[in-house]
Chain A
Amino acid sequence: MMELFKVGGSCPDTNYLFMGDFVDRGFYSVETFLLLLALKVRYPERMTLIRGNHESRQITQVYGFYDECQRKYGSSNVWRWCCEVFDYLALGAIVDGRVFCVHGGLSPNLQGIDQIRGIDRKQEVPHDGPMCDLLWSDPDDITGWGLSPRGAGFLFGADITKAFAHHNALDLIARAHQLAMEGYKLMFENLIVTVWSAPNYCYRWVPISCIPCSRTEDSSSTSCGNVASILELDEHLGQEYKVFSHAPPVSSPFVSYWLKLSVSPRMYAQYPQNVHRRTISYDSPWSCRYIHLCFFFVPIDYCSRIPSTVASAHHRLCITKVMYYY
């Protein structure tokens, strides 16, 4: 993700819209999601997060996020709280009224974007229904609707897509959810695009009993060998696809990570005394929940890699709250 920020420019200089699937299938789900949350809290108008099908209690218990939280924090609290935040994430977004963004795709139960606004989204992703479909569906070369091979959501064809775009006055539907080997895939006469931003998608399979203690050549992983992309929209909604490959691997991230995490939280209180407490007021419980997480649970070594404008604010917030607790 840091590579992605290098390609697209750091937030807040660049506005970002992340289309979900922040967690699972990697070793750094916690850090990834909490960094995005920190950026959201710090620059709410410059960072938009919408929900993916992996932002779900059921899915994260199978695909790694739950296990990662257990491993890193010794309990399921962080996982539980993140899942509560997931419930608040919007299901879709619109850029300048013309580009509709959603994680999965369309639903046979939804013709208008206003109907999406009417969904009560503050719940676990259901097994079926319009909220589920938005996060699980895929475009496909069929006419009309088809049952999705995924076991949830639907397949929808060009005719459905054109009707939806016309009905809602859209130029483009941007979505994610499916691996695109070239980083992005346009379909239906460039009416819908799949944007895939995880290069060389690397599936790291780690059973919960295995605590990684050294960075050896990871034999328990399979790699797709794909490139990634981000879609850049300019002020006229002109599209540019920036393609990028995986970042060069960092040496021994595991060892350094675990050493730092083993530092007792009490030690943080001995950090420099020139910390000044800031009073931050937030007028919605939604933001407060974000703050709680950011304070307490972002591993301290991450601060050195966050762009400086965020780091200073974040670092101070982190220490303030920790001092309060300890």
Chain B
Amino acid sequence: MVCHHGAGYSGLSFACLAREVGLLSRGECGVLAIDCRGHGKTTRISDDDDNGAEIETEDLAIGILTDDLVNLISTVYPDPNSAPSLLLVGHSLGGSVSVRACPLLQERKYRITGVGVLDVVEEFTLEALPMMHSLLDARPDGFNSPEEAVEWHVMTHAIRNVESARVSIPGIIIPNPDPSSGPAYLWRTPLRLTAPYWSSWFTGLSSKFLLTRTARLLVLAGAERLDKELMIGQMQGKFQLVVLANVGHMVHEDDPGRLAEVLVEFWRRNERVVIGVKKVGEL
């Protein structure tokens, strides 16, 4: 299971999910959760010591992020034939990356069991983008301690699962290089600077998702809310839809146990070979 986090988060968002997946699959299904470009502990291999300049000029176009994922898989598993079959799971922006990476990986002969997209629907996300700025304005500039950061996320219901927040939040804050100028910890990824890329991240997501030649899973939080393209696709049986109750946008953090059940069942169903039954997307 290759997990790609959403904008502003890190691979640690999937920590609790990874534990549950390991338990449920009895160790048969591993989890590879990455920190994508400009997030978590991923840094540029560069002679330049000036980390400040590096963050601001990070190119987070969807094509670059997709290539990053493909190149990462190619590096971790150089030989597609001996590589395990992969289940691409992406949350929000990560969903868009996973959907675009799938055909590229298949071209390179990697076996993709399925693509799981967590809580992102193209039309509604694009509609909500103008509100992102006010959302970001409502966030503090930083925190005085990791504990304070965890508390803020839990209090504002950004993450409803305290245990997961405790693990994942340290991945999204960094010590302030100039502590005298502000709070002790800053956001690892200044999301405001990524604004130029937002629209391109999600445009075309629904159609690309429906066109992937593998098993497709969409997990939504709270309500079954689909845009027209996905609704027609769902009514024609083109993908599996799971709606989880009592979770927020951070589905994988809020209820890792339930999501792990869904993902492991999805993986098992599409992974096993049944004589005489073609897999989804197989001609």
**Which A residues lie at the B interface, using CB under 8 A?**
62-64, 108, 138, 142, 144-151, 154-155, 177-179, 181, 201, 203, 205, 207, 220, 222-225
Contacts and interface: CB of A to CB of B under 8 A. Distances in A.
B231 A148 contact: no
A132 to B, nearest CB: 13
B200 interface: no
A179 B236 contact: yes
B277 A147 contact: yes
Given A178-B237, A205-B224, A154 B243 contact: no
Contacts of A220: 225
B228 interface: yes
Contact of A203 (B226, B238, B274): B226
Contacts of B260: none
Given A108-B277, A203-B226, A222 B231 contact: yes
A207 B246 CA distance: 12
22 contacts: A142-B278, A142-B283, A144-B276, A144-B278, A145-B278, A146-B279, A146-B282, A147-B270, A149-B238, A150-B237, A151-B242, A151-B266, A151-B269, A178-B235, A179-B235, A203-B224, A203-B226, A205-B223, A205-B224, A207-B222, A224-B231, A224-B232
Contacts of A108: 276-277
A149 B235 contact: no
Contact of B240 (A146, A149, A155): A149
B239 interface: yes
Interface string B34-54: 000000000000000000000
B215 interface: yes
Which 3 residue pairs spanning A and B have beta carbons closest together? A151-B240, A179-B235, A146-B278
Given A151-B217, A151-B266, A224 B280 contact: no
A224 B224 contact: no
B138 to A, nearest CB: 23
Contact of B235 (A144, A145, A201, A207): A201
B216 interface: yes
Residue with the highest number of chain A CB atoms closer than 10 Å, among B215, B216, B237, B278: B237
A108 B238 CA distance: 20
Contacts of A203: 224, 226, 231
Contact of A149 (B222, B239, B274): B239
Contacts of A142: 278, 283
Contacts of B227: 222
A224 B228 contact: yes
Contact of A145 (B217, B243, B266, B276): B276
A147 to B, nearest CB: 5
A27 to B, nearest CB: 15
Interface in B197-212: none
Nearest to A24: B224
Contacts of B217: 151
Contacts of A181: 232
Nearest to B114: A149
Contacts of A138: 237
B236 A146 contact: no
Nearest to B215: A149
A148 B237 contact: yes
Nearest to A181: B232
Nearest to A155: B278
A147 B280 contact: yes
A201 to B, nearest CB: 7
Nearest to B270: A147
Nearest to B282: A146
A177 B243 CA distance: 19
Nearest to A225: B228
Given A146-B279, A222-B231, A177 B270 contact: no
A176 B132 CA distance: 41
B28 to A, nearest CB: 19
Residue with the highest number of chain B CB atoms closer than 10 Å, among A145, A149, A179, A207: A149
Given A108-B277, A138-B237, 5 more contacts: A62-B243, A144-B278, A145-B276, A146-B277, A151-B217
A249 to B, nearest CB: 19
B280 to A, nearest CB: 5
B113 to A, nearest CB: 11
Nearest to B235: A179
Given A146-B282, A151-B240, A224-B231, A205 B225 contact: yes
B235 A147 contact: no
